């Protein structure tokens, strides 16, 4: 396997497909790099270099006890980019991974980055606060953590209903996709899975988004039952100067699966523009 070791000794797995301009993918919770297989295959077939990695604690990467915060995640991403000596990079983050992209830019700048895409992302802030009343109530995230600690496999299996929007009339998601999603999710450590709920819900990315000085694409479904569009995607697009916003009508959270053909085309057009 292709891996590198971070400054604090955590081994990070990554996959590196194709040749050309590098596109680096940051995955969502509670998944890993495999969630990007349709995008990676498509972009590599179109002359790009597609790279995705497993966040620490997830997939085939190491499972340390600590380090499940966005400063650490951004530093891990920076080490990947530097290890592979990537330049003119397009960073793509889905859901929790949108926070990786935002904090990387906020913390490390854009010297190696040319463009960024935030897909169904938790930016700029997920949780409800007095200054962000449209966010999600803290009780929801407390319930997620309690559910994981009580019966992680069943909780994650049930979570797919909202993730894919299978509770909506006309939703078409195969049993195979649902099984694959659960299989990927269960590779993660319970420690990482629980700690990341705190990280992705409570981290404030408003200051990071102000440092975006590059072309940025924001894509969100307006029927996202996991990361509500009005509390995240719309505000992220407003916070980033010159950002392009694409709203997918009736789309759920899991755009890389449910709307892969449209998303692939939109990503390629954005990268090549």
Query: Is 95 marked active-site?
Result: yes
Q: How is the beta sheet containing 22-26 ordered, strand by strand?
A: 3-5, 11-17, 49-53, 22-26, 89-94, 113-119, 216-221, 244-248
SS3 53: strand
The active-site residue out of 61, 95, 120, 201 is 95
- DSSP character at residue 253: S
Please confirm, yes or no, whether 189 is among the known catalytic residues: no
**Are 56 and 81 spatial neighbours (Cβ–Cβ below 8 Å)?**
no
Contacts of 267 (CB under 8 A, 6+ apart): 23, 39, 43, 92, 117, 217
Of residues 160, 224, 259, 266, which has the active-site annotation? 224
Check 32, 54, 120, 253 and give the catalytic one: 253
Distance CA 148, CA 156 (A): 8
Asked if residue 144 lies in contact with residue 229, where contact means CB atoms within 8 angstroms, the answer is no
Catalytic residue flag (residue 253) = yes
What contacts 8, CB < 8 A, 6 or more positions away? 64, 67, 72
**Residues whose CB falls within 8 Å of the CB of residue 50, separated by 6 or more in sequence, listed in order:** 16, 17, 18, 23, 25, 36, 39, 40, 41, 43, 44
What are the catalytic residues?
95, 224, 253
């Amino acid at each position: 396997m292709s891996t590198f070791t971070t400054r604090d000794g955590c081994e990070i797995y990554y996959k590196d497909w194709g040749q050309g301009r590098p596109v680096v993918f940051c995955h969502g919770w509670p998944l890993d790099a495999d969630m990007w297989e349709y995008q990676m295959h498509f972009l590599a077939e179109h002359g790009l270099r597609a790279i995705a990695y497993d966040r620490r604690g997830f997939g085939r990467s190491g499972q340390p006890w600590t380090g499940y915060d966005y400063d650490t995640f951004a530093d891990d991403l920076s080490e990947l980019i530097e290890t592979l000596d990537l330049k003119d990079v397009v960073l793509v983050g889905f859901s929790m991974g949108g926070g990786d992209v935002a904090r990387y830019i906020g913390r490390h700048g854009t010297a190696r980055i040319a463009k960024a895409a935030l897909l169904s992302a938790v930016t700029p802030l997920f949780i409800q606060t007095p200054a962000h009343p449209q966010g999600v109530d803290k009780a929801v995230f407390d319930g997620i953590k309690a559910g994981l600690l009580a019966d992680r496999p069943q909780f994650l299996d049930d979570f797919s209903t909202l993730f894919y929007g299978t509770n909506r009339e006309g939703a078409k998601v195969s049993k195979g996709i649902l099984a694959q999603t659960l299989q990927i999710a269960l590779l993660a450590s319970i420690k990482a899975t629980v700690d990341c709920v705190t990280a992705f819900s409570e981290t404030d990315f408003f200051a990071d988004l102000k440092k975006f000085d590059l072309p940025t694409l924001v894509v969100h479904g307006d029927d996202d039952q996991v990361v509500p569009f009005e509390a995240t995607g719309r505000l992220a697009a407003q916070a980033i100067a010159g950002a392009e916003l694409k709203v997918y009508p009736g789309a759920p959270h899991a755009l890389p699966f449910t709307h892969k053909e449209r998303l692939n085309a939109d990503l390629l057009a954005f990268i090549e523009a």
